[in-house]
Amino acid sequence: MRSYKATNYVVAVNMKSIIKGTIITVIAMLSILSISGLLTSVNPQYRIASDSLNQAASEIKGEALYKLFGLENRSFNSILTEEGKELPDISSLLFNVATNIRFDDPRSFLGRELPGFSIFDGEILVAGEGTDFTNMPIESVPPREALDPENEAQLKNIEDFTKENGGRDAGKSIPTTGDKKTVHLYFTHTRESYLPYLEGVINPDSAMHSKINVTKVGDMLKADLERLGIGTSIDKTDVIQKLNHKGLDYYEAYQESRPLVKTAMTNNKDLLYLIDIHRDSQRKNVTTARINGKAFAKLAFVVGEEHPDYEQNLKVATELHNLLESEYKGLSRGVISKKGSGTNGKFNQDLSGNALLLEFGGVDNTFEELERSSIAFAEVFADYYWQAEKVDHNLSPEPVRQ
């Protein structure tokens, strides 16, 4: 018979440590609940919004969500590609949330540190040929003296205003809107001009003029669209003059152009498309394309993401970009989104799903180059317009938002 010796175990319990840990846990939980309650009870305008979390969430692809579902239900994995089966890089995601820095975009290292740097921020939604974050459209702010009529530059090369006899066969039968004006052109930054016509001006930000400016491009586009049967109205109200008269800053231009657009929509129920024409501040190597041996001023579409229905604006801009790529490869710089501090973020596009902001060339482009681009855009837009008309005869802007 074997004998067993009983073994006694002694467990020492420090009641002070348990009480201390319990108190810390209770305080932490109460703090979390109190902060959560405070954040959800305050008025919406005072709640904290996180651009970092929003940006980080936008980096997560839909495939990654399916992969997460697939961890519980493998049937979700059947619709994923091999690339889509990869989970997002958690460490990069957490670093992005904590610092708002993205290694694939060097601008994020400086964007929160340098005053005014965020004005150059934006996202390339659809990249045109040669477009990257180093040459995206610039919404530059002119110095005050450039907007003063008394300091306005003398004009030069004004004999350069030529009208190319291009486009479709004049004898070809084309559809027409008749007496209806279905496209409306306007100019939020009315005085954006071009350096080849301004005597002594070399600073791109100072390329402003009350007479020779983007409204001339609007005149070209109106004529080209109407030549293709699309009735077009144009509003050349000097928004900058309104800013000067009211003592407003340049960034407030969109709040001054907005009533003009709403009035046009109210007075003309036939309007289907709104086009705000601008000029980029990038230089000629970025804003010029050579197509069939001729120089064209490049186009760029800008979409404001700070309204709930921007996807429709994005859809229209993307479809027009794709059509330009197929007919005039290299003419479109792509579709760029703008949101956040330092920019308007809506650009009046919340007034209509068919509202466009279109950059026509840059500070170095000539009206000869701009006219070629006007003809090209009008032809592509006409194809898009009449095809859409066949599909839906009731095309109309979204209801006006207050």
Kindly report which listed range (36-50, 167-181, 236-250, 350-364) carries the lowest average pLDDT score.
36-50
Residue 90 in tokens: 């958690």
The per-residue DSSP string of 38-84 comes to HHHHS-GGGS---HHHHHHHHTS-HHHHHHHHHTT-GGGGGG--TTT
d(CA 297, CA 366): 8
Using pLDDT thresholds of 50, 70 and 90, give the confidence band for residue 149: confident
pLDDT at 316: 96
Predicted pLDDT of residue 386: 93
C-beta neighbour count of 370 within 10 angstroms: 21
Angle at 58 between CA 53 and CA 62, to 5 degrees: 130
Per-residue model confidence as pLDDT tens digits over 306-319: 898 999 999 999 99
Which is higher by pLDDT, 151 or 226? 226
φ, ψ of residue 289 to 5 degrees: the values are: -125, 150
Question: Which pLDDT does position 119 carry in this prediction?
Answer: 47
pLDDT at 33: 76
The first and second tokens of residue 171, run together, are 């004898």
pLDDT recorded at residue 167: 55
Of 3-12, 202-211, 387-396, give the range with the top mean pLDDT.
202-211
> pLDDT of 20-42, one tens digit each?
778 888 888 888 777 766 655 55
Please check the confidence at residue 11 and state whether its pLDDT lies above 50: yes
pLDDT given for residue 118 in this prediction? 45
3.30.70, 3.20.20, 2.60.40, 3.40.630: CATH of 144-165+179-391: 3.40.630
- The average pLDDT across 244-266 equals 94
Burial code of 125-135, b = ≥16 C-beta within 10 A, e = fewer?
bbbbeebebee
Residue that wins the pLDDT comparison between 229 and 106 = 229
pLDDT tens-digit profile of 165-196? 555 555 567 899 999 999 999 999 999 999 99
pLDDT-derived band of residue 280, with 50, 70 and 90 as boundaries?
A: very high
CA gap 97, 93 in Å, rounded: 6
Q: What is the pLDDT of residue 399?
A: 46
Strand pairing partners for 186? Answer: 235, 276
Answer with the residue of higher pLDDT: 225 or 96: 225
Say what the pLDDT of residue 270 is: 94
Q: Where are the domains of the chain?
A: 15-41, 51-122, 144-165+179-391
